[in-house]
Structure 1
Amino acid sequence: MPFDKLFTPIRIRDLKLSNRVIMAGMGTHMTGWNGREVTQKLIHYHAARAKGGVGMNTTEVCSVDPASSPNAFLAISEDRYIPGLKKLTSAVHQSGGSICVQLWQGSLAVSMDPAAEVLVPSDMEVSAGFTIPGMTIQRINSVIEAYGNAAKRAVTAGFDAVEFHCGHTYLPHSFLSGGINHRKDEYGGDFEKRTRFPLECIRSIRANIPEGMPVFMRIDCHDDELAGGLTMEEVIAFCKMAGKEGVDVLNISRGNILTSAVMYETPPMDLPHGFNVEKAARIRKETGMLTMPAGRINTPEYAEQILKEDKADLIVMARAQLADPEFCNKAREGKLSSIKYCIGCDQGCYDYFVDKTKDHITCLRNPALGLEEELKLTKTQSPKKVLIAGGGIAGLEAADILFKRGHIPVLYEAEDHLGGQLLMAGAAPRKEDTAMAVRMAAKNIEELGIEVHLNTAVTPELIEGVKPDAVIAAIGAEPFIPDLEGIEESYVTNFKEVLQGTKNLSGNVVVIGGGLVGLEAAEYLRERGCEITVVEMREAVGIDLGDMRKIAVNRAIAQSGIKTVTNAACKAVRDHQVIVEVKGKEISLPADYAVIAVGSQKRSTEEIINVCKKENIPYYVVGDAIKARRALNAISEAYEAARCI
């Protein structure tokens, strides 16, 4: 069996897990923006991962205290939530899995709901003239009691384990950290006093659950960017104390919402794989406790390596389960190319999470996330031959889904390789996972035996000759080239030619466009020794990036020495100069080369549509062929087209 270590069972007290893969708690908003109860949507979501073979599911954060329980998150703060939680645990158990509830008091994080009480250890000034008062001793005691009552409800609801969240600036972490807790009484000051509140919470939990029920604890390995914050030595010392009070497993995480270190909580592709692994290994060694690292572990090969090197006992693979609920089953069976790999884009998980116009999170790789029942795939009773024009990620997704449903996809790609723009984007720094995921998707198509024609553009004549039962047009987009003086000069190129490596540039390079593709081209060229200036007409570069990627990319841009000129309108390219206007003043930027990176425009599908109409062939246009957007949109539209044929 592949990945023997990863799929070795483990017993923790009375709980036996079938393997070492743990799906950590992740916010979903599947409760609805105005709810706190388990919904059928959330049940289907968890049941799908249990059926997919994950060792244990963990709920998203689940509020323990009634007054500070925000809407849009689960709650276990009152008995009225127990029936819904019972339905959730029953569904997971019936699907062959185990489930842990993450007990939570969110401190500052609950402020997204104006009705929820915000609790902080000590007075905290959040803006001029507005300070949140520190908790009274009476309120501290009531929250400690609330943890115990919540743990008791968890037992009644049928959970297999509980997890005490002691990280990410939530209340227990805030008490523990000297960078946040500035109390002067028995709950603050020196390290020992700062441990008092979280330790009393653990005692309260342990006293209200059976001896055989495990307690997990999620904790930051140290504080980032917080003056006076937790050191790793303090974390190790606290974990030893927590172990004596009944904590069984340490879930090693990182990040806080007070600084840009928030990016470690939902780490983007810019962060290294397993950036917490070595720290977790040290904590494990010095505490002697069962330990599991979180953070950018997205392949079974890497997870197996961590276990074989004896650096962990279990592995947190959370977003891997969002991208593919069958991740574990596929890995166990050795079907690696069929896995939809998380690429750390954060587009569907984090960006949707903070967007109140979205019902719940989604995933670039998995449009059915949160819609497991609504978008369930069914086998066709009438197999059709479907011509797919375009072998980018949308075309690959369509071919995969059509094949799963029993249709006969035939894929045509104009270039000499599959992967399209997403493969090209994978050439940019820190986007190796993007390229890997696309290559695996292409390999999956090959292994399924789907007919593929490279170097073959889809023409009306080809469609008439093939006579398909349906057509999916996924021909993507191409660089938008503005009407600009000097655009035809030999030293002017575009981001596609740069990232595909068809043009080798040197010297001073001006990148015209400071959005995602412009910054990718800029970093790519900077790594190859060019001196880069990015020109952006808006007030900042990277505006189209999500929050977490924006933090990481802006940091990389600053560290690399790439210059940026914002609020700059490009007027012309002449005599190896890029002429821009900034606040009414013209500036000339020296340019051995200029790179146009102002975005993409859709390729025309007019001929394909016209012949389909003429031959009465059903057709579907998906992805950038409709309008240049994100890969998330392209994959979602391809999935839906293939599901409906």
Structure 2
Amino acid sequence: MDKNLEPLFTPWKIGNVEIKNRIVLTSMGGTDLFGWMEKNHFDEAGADFILEVAQNNAGLLLPGCQPVYNPMYGQWLHKNKKMYKDLAEWMPKFHATGAKLFVQLTAGFGRSFTVSPMMEKLYNNGFLRVLSRPVMDLDKITASASPSPNRWSDKLPSREMTVAEIQEFVKAFGKTAALLKEAGVDGVEVHAVHEGYLLDQFTLGYVNKRTDQYGGSFENRYRFAVEIVQEIKRVCGKDYPVSLRYSVISKTKGFRQGALPGEEYEEVGRDFEESVRAAKYLQDAGYDMLNCDNGTYDAWYWAHPPIYMPENCNLSDVEALRRHVDIPVVCAGRMDPKVAADAVDKGSIDGAGFARQFLADPEWVTKLMAGKSEDIRPCILCHNGCFNMCHYKGVPNDQDLYDSLHLARCAVNAETMQKDKHHIKKTGHPKKVIVIGGGIGGMEAARVLKLRGHEPVIYEKSGELGGTFIAASAESYKGKLRELLEWYRRQMEELGIEVHLNTPIKDVGRFWRSDIIIATGAKPRFLGNTPGQEKMIEACDYLRGREVGQRVAIIGGGLSGCEIAYELALQGKTPIIVEMKDDLISQKGVCLANSSYLREWFALHNVEVHLETGLSEVWDGYIICNDKKGDSFRIDCDSVISCVGYIPNPVVKENEKTSNMDYVGDCKEVGNLRSVIWRAYEVAMRI
């Protein structure tokens, strides 16, 4: 192990509980022990994931947050006694790893509850609203400190919680914690004076307008969180450790308005001065640890950093807070292990929180300890599999119900939280399998085939493996994507997979005796008969090094176009985005944490954006566009980049397909990295 990492592997204490090292698996919805958005039960899939991480040397593990009042079916978490017995039977297996377990409990979501189109219909139809109440009581689930707008929808506002409801929640925390203690759980974490969830909504002045004992003064705004820890300590004893998930600074300008790194703004939530006072107050109330980052749902990119956010984005604020409290402090948010180790060594934090990296590779800590960091499959911070709650103009959460009910999966690891259907099964009939195309889809298929016992052979027309992912990972801020590309290339070498570069395959007839996987990707979409379109630079050509001028028009404001515009702006160039839809990144699968960062960054830096605008002509030095009224206007520019999408480009068309042939990646259907990797895994498992 790298000596610089050694401070991460020293013991520490939370109250009287000793933790063997400083690495903390922070909570993610979906990795729950009692189910997620379903009837509460002992969740074996969540338990298996938690156990695998514990077996791979994490010190403290926090499963997915458990609402003490389940939004689905209105269950109180303390009512189902059987699942605590099941948990108690599992705990010895967990404790055999030497790790410690704190279960995270939440009062709920309030105005941050992720509303879908279906929920809008249920709430706004009187008959359906009453009919659905036993399954999903939206009026209760979304209730907040004060009447306020929902983060996701204008059609489902939050009402004010009653004092009786608040006190019922306080009692529920105590009852639940007592059952967890009895089951052998080492501690609990209260979620949260954090991220703009319900408890945080009570603390934040821009949300809480109450005039009773839970609003107004500092003490009143933090009363809910204080009463919870006091109740847990009353029921479980003062020595039972209680952590608090805590946002140091809200980084929020208003409802649905975040503050970007480095931005000058007026804080409407918790600023650092109040945070110091609150941290001391909460410590004195009985909390034994602060598990910290920044942000609210209105500034979601702080708590769920996309790839555009700086590494260790919350560390300086957490370190500053640590100087004012006497209890341990954990920092989470794009943490680099070496930076975290240095911070622990200096005593400026006590533990380092990691979440999504465990989804990408549950064994990453073990590999780090063994000095094999190059074997760690990296998280690329895309949120495509774990957290693709998506929002753009005109829609609430535009996420498939299946994804809403199955969080904490991983775009780059098809097995994570899906081992019931995605697991390596050795073949009893080894075959030679031809893989045509050496992009991510082709390499993932070959990797799984090899692990199963087959002999895959890759044929790649270019001189390197990676396909369009080479271009997709080219921007300066996409180091994690380049790490993933190198991980795949290394897998091909480590597994001894036969690869033929510079070998285009136009006729697959020579392989007719073998199983064949087509992974030849997609080709750019063009804008019909737009005059001058030949003057445009295709997005991948730009990303592979094609030079552009100072003023660059980007045709297409989806994710790819916006990321290119962001890169151009970082280089000091002047991007102009032209998009036909009424919002940027108006597409499924892109988490609001990612898309809101880019939209707000463009607004802050005055990037020129033309929505509901079509391109009509391209000329040397300018383009002609049409607005939604049909009026034409000119945009002067030095270069034009086309980002209008791609269409499948299989080397063998569907009507030419034979029974021993299948497709993976964008040559089947253009999607994202998640769809490419998951389908490649599934196709490889069918052979």
TM-score (norm 2): 0.83
CA deviations 1:438-494 (Å, max 9, x no partner) are: 223323433444333332223437x837x88433222211222233344464x4221
Deviation at 1:403, TM superposition (A): 3.1
- Percent identity over the alignment is 27
- The answer to whether the 8 A contact 2:518-2:650 is kept is no
Q: What does residue range 441-480 of structure 1 map to in structure 2 within 5 Å?
A: 441-460=488-507, 464=510, 469-480=514-525
Q: What does residue range 90-489 of structure 1 map to in structure 2 within 5 Å?
A: 92-93=94-95, 97-108=99-110, 109=112, 113-115=136-138, 116-122=140-146, 124=148, 132-136=159-163, 138-165=164-191, 166-210=193-237, 212-225=239-252, 226=254, 228-257=268-297, 259=298, 261-297=299-335, 300-351=337-388, 355-358=399-402, 359-361=405-407, 362-428=409-475, 430-460=477-507, 464=510, 469-487=514-532, 489=534
CA distance in 2, matches of 1:83, 1:519: 50
CA deviations 1:553-585 (Å, max 9, x no partner) are: 112223343322222222232454422222222
CA distance in 2, matches of 1:624, 1:94: 44
- The answer to whether the 8 A contact 1:6-1:304 is kept is yes
Sort the Cα spacing of 1:459 and 1:335 in 2 relative to 1 into closer, same or farther, 3 A.
Answer: farther
CA distance in 2, matches of 1:102, 1:63: 9
Matched position secondary structure for 2:273: helix
Matched, 1:543 2:586: yes
CA deviations 1:489-523 (Å, max 9, x no partner) are: 4x42211111111x211143322222122222333
Unaligned residue ranges in structure 1 (runs of 5+): none
> Residue 60 of structure 1 corresponds to which residue in structure 2?
64
Sort the Cα spacing of 1:125 and 1:470 in 2 relative to 1 into closer, same or farther, 3 A.
Answer: closer
CA distance in 2, matches of 1:406, 1:96: 34
Deviation at 1:262, TM superposition (A): 2.5
- The answer to whether the 8 A contact 2:519-2:650 is kept is no
1:592 to 638, 642, 646: 638
Q: What does residue range 494-513 of structure 1 map to in structure 2 within 5 Å?
A: 494-501=538-545, 503-513=546-556
CA distance in 2, matches of 1:306, 1:413: 45
CA distance in 2, matches of 1:72, 1:91: 31
Paired letter, 1:533? I
Matched position secondary structure for 2:388: helix
Matched, 1:642 2:642: no
Paired letter, 2:520? I
Larger mean CA deviation between 439-448 and 213-222 belongs to: 439-448
- The answer to whether the 8 A contact 2:31-2:63 is kept is no
Deviation at 1:140, TM superposition (A): 3.7
Matched, 1:621 2:663: yes
Matched position secondary structure for 1:420: coil
Sort the Cα spacing of 1:24 and 1:414 in 2 relative to 1 into closer, same or farther, 3 A.
Answer: same
- The answer to whether the 8 A contact 1:508-1:531 is kept is yes
Q: What does residue range 70-109 of structure 1 map to in structure 2 within 5 Å?
A: 70-71=71-72, 76-80=77-81, 81-83=83-85, 85-86=87-88, 89=91, 92-93=94-95, 97-108=99-110, 109=112
Paired letter, 2:641? V
CA distance in 2, matches of 1:129, 1:20: 41
CA deviations 1:330-357 (Å, max 9, x no partner) are: 2222332332211111111221696352
TM-score (norm 1): 0.88
Sort the Cα spacing of 1:243 and 1:47 in 2 relative to 1 into closer, same or farther, 3 A.
Answer: same
Matched position secondary structure for 1:578: strand
CA distance in 2, matches of 1:40, 1:513: 44
CA deviations 1:516-550 (Å, max 9, x no partner) are: 22222333333444433222222222212432221
Unaligned residue ranges in structure 2 (runs of 5+): 116-135, 255-266, 391-396
Deviation at 1:256, TM superposition (A): 2.0
CA distance in 2, matches of 1:590, 1:70: 52
Deviation at 1:623, TM superposition (A): 0.8
CA distance in 1, matches of 2:308, 2:449: 33
Matched position secondary structure for 2:236: coil
CA distance in 2, matches of 1:74, 1:307: 40
CA distance in 2, matches of 1:111, 1:340: 30
Sort the Cα spacing of 1:417 and 1:75 in 2 relative to 1 into closer, same or farther, 3 A.
Answer: farther
- The answer to whether the 8 A contact 2:357-2:379 is kept is yes
CA distance in 1, matches of 2:108, 2:411: 28
CA distance in 2, matches of 1:53, 1:521: 39
CA deviations 1:567-607 (Å, max 9, x no partner) are: 22222324544222222222233343222211112222218
- The answer to whether the 8 A contact 1:505-1:525 is kept is no
How many residue pairs match? The answer is 630
CA distance in 2, matches of 1:43, 1:128: 37
- The answer to whether the 8 A contact 1:277-1:311 is kept is no
- The answer to whether the 8 A contact 2:247-2:292 is kept is yes
